[in-house]
Structure 1
Amino acid sequence: MLTAVDHVQLAAPPGSEDTLRAYYVDILGMTEIPKPPTLAVRGGCWFRAGAVQLHLGIESDFRPAKKAHPGLRVTGIEAYAARLVAREAAIIWDDGLPGYRRFYSEDPVGNRLEFLEPALSRQW
């Protein structure tokens, strides 16, 4: 029986770890968590915010996914969007999901990220 999503893994190009750290820690406000030594030798980095974990793994022939993405639930979506914009991260608001406020952004290597918050009254 499935009980929860443990983490989401995204891909990144070799040598991008410092750029990823700047984005996921400084812009999104996540905390970097250490990778086990047996996995750390592969490169990449892992991040956490509360129960949410994002793992960035290195792919030598990296191409960012333009459709696939994690959907990250936030509280105070307007303030969170303002945080990203103030740190020069582009966002695109989307009203296509009834009952939610949401926007999209991309990390520095082009991975698509969705940020969403339930509206006060859902329409479905």
Structure 2
Amino acid sequence: MKNNLTPSGELVLENLVINHHNLSADFPNREQRLQYRAVVQWLTDYKPKSDATNLEKVRGYLQAFHHLCTVEDWERASKILFIRLNTPTNEELHAQLNTWGYYREQIDLYNRIVGKISPTLDTIFFMV
């Protein structure tokens, strides 16, 4: 089943400038390479069931975010949070979680990234 809620994983990888065909050259460290491989797999291979909850429909993006945080790639992790979803309001992932009532998940995301990018970004998260 195609998940029409999220943009294609291939497009997201392109926007993150992650070339899944060249992970060995781009990330020579084995542990990093494993984490980036997981990012690629979550964004391209994860397929929620047709009756999945909204949270399950974005699970691949949330998991990719966590793998990027593991390697402290805060810039790319933050880009995941700002992906606009194909909803009637076209909200960014982090804000859409709030709209759906997934407050705990939203807070967990913010706690992972707050203080890692910029004070301006931190302000955005606390205003949602």
What TM-score do the two structures reach when normalised by structure 1? Answer: 0.32
Higher relative contact order (CA 8 A, sep 6+): 1
> What TM-score do you get using the length of structure 2 for normalisation?
0.31
More helix by proportion, 1 or 2? Answer: 2
Structure with greater strand percent: 1
